[in-house]
Amino acid sequence: MTHMGVKFAIAGGIMVIAVTYLAFAGMKTGWVYTLPVDQFVANVDQQKMRVRLCGTVSEKDLIVLKGQLTAKFTLKGEHTEVRVAYKGVVPDMFKAGSDVVVEGKRNDAGVFVCDVLMTKCASKYEARPAGHPNVASTTAATQENKVEVGLP
- Categorize the per-residue pLDDT at 121 as very low, low, confident or very high, splitting at 50, 70 and 90: low
- Categorize the per-residue pLDDT at 30 as very low, low, confident or very high, splitting at 50, 70 and 90: low
Q: Would you state the pLDDT for residue 111? A: 94
**What is the average per-residue pLDDT within 129-138?**
52
- Least confident residue range of 1-5, 56-60, 87-91: 1-5
Positive or negative torsion for Cα 119, 120, 124, 125: positive
Q: Would you state the pLDDT for residue 143? A: 41
Indicate the burial class of 71 (C-beta count within 10 angstroms; 0-12, 13-18, 19 or more). Answer: buried
Q: Would you state the pLDDT for residue 120? A: 79
Q: Which residues pair with 1 in a beta bridge?
A: none
